[in-house]
Structure 1
């Protein structure tokens, strides 16, 4: 099986609709981490919650980075629901 590890966290302060804030987010998405042995690791996939902000911004950023790299999600209020579900077919958001 595969493993996953939390290697860092980032809080980006600013307005979600400000391009400078979004560019700081892009830096976090594109960041490379160096292991002790010199091997480099990059962020392969993130989920971005569309709740509470204009989801169009999240969808556009997802298209920019790749739909399977930046996955827009909508949190559920019910325990046990999947964290992310992909649309079965193309919609207006991509």
Structure 2
């Protein structure tokens, strides 16, 4: 049985936008349903509405992933980790 990545992780996303240049940063902490950090998870930043991948990163050992210099827009995160169900959330 596959485990589930916690939706709580997606509520911890911090977005910093700078109006003058339309660029921002996204920081997310990926957790399991028991609030354990999920290091080495694959996180894709998906550009909406065309579903193209804007960027992809791997979380550090504390489950943190950081996307910097991202153009302002609508995105979703796609999170995958071996042994867990893939999770996607709209920000």
Pair in the same fold by TM > 0.5: no
**Where is the helix percentage greater, Structure 1 or Structure 2?**
1
Using CA pairs below 8 Å that are at least 6 residues apart, which structure has the higher relative contact order?
Answer: 2
TM-score by length of 2: 0.32
**Structure with a larger share of its residues in strand:** 2
- Higher alpha-carbon Rg: 1
TM-score of the pair, normalised by structure 1: 0.31
